[in-house]
C-alpha cells in the first residue's frame, strides 16, 4: 500500500469515530497504529533496492543460462572434432596400410573407423537437436523442450562414448601387433 492510501484510511477511521460522537482518541493507540502503518509501507528506497535485487537475480540467471548453453556447445564441438580428427587419422593410416598390402590390419582398423564416423554423426545430430530444443522452449512447449534437451545431451555423450570405445578398439589392435 502507498502512503496516500494509508493516510486516507486513517482519515476514514477518524471520520467514523467522529460520526459515532467519539470526541477523544487514545493517543498512544493512534501513534501505535501510525507506526504500524508506516512500517508496512515500503519506502522509495526499499522499492529501489527491491528492484535492483530482482534485476541482479535476473541478470545472474541469464548469465548462468548462457554459461550452460556455452558449455553444452563446447561439449558438442569437442565430440565432433575429436571424432572427425580420429576418423581422418584412421583414413590416413588405412590408406598407408593399403599401399603396403597389409589387408589384415586394414580390416581390423575399419571397425574403429566406422565407430569414429558414427561419433561424428551423433555429434552432428546433437547439433541439430539444439535447434528443436530452442524452438520448443521459445514456443513455451517446456516438456517437449526438456525431452529434446535430454536427447541432445544423450547424443553428445554417445558421441564421446564412441570416441572412447573406438580408441580402446585401436589400442587392442596395436597391442596385438
596395436: which residue's cell? Answer: 174
Please say if the pLDDT value at position 148 is more than 70: yes
Percent of the chain with pLDDT over 70: 90
First to last CA, the chain: 83
pTM score: 0.64
Question: What integer is the mean pLDDT of 104-113?
Answer: 87
- The gap from C-alpha 111 to its chain's centroid, in whole angstroms, comes to 36
Helix 142-176 vs helix 103-138: crossing angle, to nearest 10: 170
In the chain the beta strands, taken as DSSP E runs, fall at none
Residue 142 φ then ψ, to 5°: -65, -45
Q: Do 90 and 116 touch, CB atoms closer than 8 A?
A: yes
Looking at residue 37, its pLDDT comes to: 65
Amino acid at each position: 500500500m502507498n502512503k496516500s492510501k494509508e493516510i486516507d484510511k486513517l482519515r476514514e477511521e477518524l471520520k467514523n469515530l467522529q460520526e459515532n460522537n467519539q470526541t477523544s482518541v487514545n493517543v498512544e493507540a493512534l501513534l501505535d497504529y501510525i507506526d504500524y502503518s508506516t512500517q508496512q509501507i515500503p519506502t522509495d528506497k526499499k522499492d529501489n533496492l527491491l528492484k535492483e535485487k530482482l534485476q541482479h537475480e535476473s541478470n545472474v540467471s541469464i548469465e548462468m543460462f548462457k554459461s550452460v548453453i556455452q558449455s553444452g556447445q563446447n561439449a558438442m564441438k569437442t565430440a565432433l572434432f575429436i571424432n572427425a580428427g580420429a576418423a581422418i587419422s584412421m583414413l590416413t593410416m588405412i590408406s598407408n596400410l593399403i599401399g603396403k598390402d597389409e589387408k589384415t590390419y586394414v580390416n581390423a582398423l575399419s571397425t574403429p573407423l566406422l565407430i569414429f564416423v558414427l561419433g561424428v554423426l551423433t555429434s552432428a545430430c546433437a547439433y541439430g537437436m539444439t535447434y528443436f530444443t530452442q524452438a520448443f522452449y521459445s514456443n513455451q512447449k517446456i516438456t517437449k523442450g526438456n525431452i529434446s534437451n535430454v536427447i541432445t545431451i544423450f547424443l553428445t555423450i554417445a558421441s564421446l562414448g564412441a570416441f572412447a570405445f573406438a580408441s580402446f578398439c585401436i589400442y587392442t589392435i596395436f597391442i596385438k601387433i
